[in-house]
Structure 1
Amino acid sequence: MKRSGPLLTLLAGLLLGLFMLSLNATTGEKPTSSYVKPPGSGKSSPSTKASPSTAPAQTSAPPSKSPTRTPVPEGVYTGRTDDDSSAVAITVRDDKAIAYVCDGHNVESWLRGDVKDDGSLRLTGKGGASLEGRVQGTKEIRGTAEVGNGSYAFTIGRTKKSSGLYRANSTVAGAKVEGGWIVLPDGEQVGILRRDGKPSPAPEIDPETGAVTVDGQRLTARPATP
Structure 2
Amino acid sequence: MKRPGPLLTLLAGLLLAVFMLSLNATTGVKNASSSRPRTSGAAPAATVTPERSTSPSSPTPSPSASPSASPVPNADYAGRTDDDSSAVAVSLRDGRAIAYFCDGHDKESWLKGAVGDDGTLRLTGKNGAALDGTLRDGGRIRGTVDYGGRRYGFTADKAVKPSGLYRATATVRGAELDGGWIVLPGGRQVGILDRDGAPSAAPAIDPETGAVTVDGKKLTAHPVTP
What residue identity is the alignment partner of 2:86?
S
Give the Å deviation of 1:142: 0.5
Point out where structure 2 has 5 or more consecutive residues left out of the alignment.
1-68
TM-score (norm 1): 0.68
Residue in 2 aligned with 1:94? Answer: 94
- The residue that corresponds to 2:197 in the other structure is 197
DSSP 3-state at the match of 2:118:
coil
Q: Partner amino acid for 1:83?
A: D
How far, CA to CA, are the matches of 1:198 and 1:213 in structure 2? 18
Whole-Å separation in 2 of the counterparts to 1:150 and 1:183: 24
Offset of 1:173 from its aligned partner? 0.8
Q: What CA RMSD, in Å, does the superposition of the two structures yield over aligned residues?
A: 1.1
Contact 1:162 1:208 survives alignment (8 Å): yes
When normalised by structure 2's length, the TM-score is 0.68
Deviations 1:181-202 (A, max 9, x none): 0000111100000000001000
How far the C-alpha of 1:73 sits from its partner, in A, is 2.2
Equivalent-residue separation in structure 2 for 1:171 and 1:131 (angstroms): 30
- Counterpart residue identity of residue 85, structure 2: S
Alignment-derived partner of residue 52 in structure 2 = none
Question: How far has the Cα of 1:71 moved from its partner?
Answer: 1.7
8 Å Cα contact 1:70-1:118 kept in structure 2: no
Is residue 167 from structure 1 mapped to residue 170 from structure 2 by the alignment?
Answer: no
What is the identity percentage for the equivalent residue pairs of Structure 1 and Structure 2? 64
Instruction: State the match for 1:125 in structure 2.
Output: 125
Alignment of 1:74-113 (within 5 A): 74-113=74-113
Whether the aligned pair in 2 keeps the contact of 1:102 and 1:192 (CA below 8 Å) is yes
* CA distance in 1: counterparts of 2:174 and 2:134, whole angstroms: 42
Which residue of structure 1 lines up, in the alignment, with residue 223 of structure 2? 223
User: 2 CA distance for matches of 1:70 and 1:190?
Assistant: 30
Using the TM superposition, give the Cα deviation of residue 117 of structure 1 relative to its aligned residue in structure 2, in angstroms: 0.6
Deviation readout 1:78-98 (Å, 9 max, x if unpaired): 001111000000000000000
* Secondary structure of residue in 2 paired with 1:166: strand
> Does structure 2 retain, via aligned residues, the 8 Å contact 1:101–1:110?
yes
C-alpha displacement of 1:70: 7.8
2:144 is aligned to 144
C-alpha distance in 2 between matches for 1:134 and 1:206: 31
Distance of 2:209 and 2:138 partners within structure 1:
27
Q: Which runs of 4+ in 1 moved over 6 A?
A: none
Determine if the alignment matches structure 1 residue 186 to structure 2 residue 182.
no
1:38-68: CA deviation from partner (whole Å, max 9, x where unpaired):
xxxxxxxxxxxxxxxxxxxxxxxxxxxxxxx
Aligned residues: 158
Given residue 145 of structure 1, which amino acid in structure 2 is its aligned partner?
V
In the alignment, residue 95 of structure 2 is paired with which amino acid? D
Q: CA deviation at 1:150?
A: 2.1
Query: Partner amino acid for 1:159?
Result: A
The aligned residue for residue 55 of structure 2 is none
Greater Cα shift, 95-104 or 73-82: 73-82
| Structure 1 Cα separation of the partners of residues 171 and 149 of structure 2 | 30
Look up the match of 1:7: none
Alpha-carbon offset, residue 166 of structure 1? 0.2
Distance in 1 separating the partners of 2:225 and 2:150: 25
Whether 1:209 and 2:217 are equivalent positions in the alignment is no
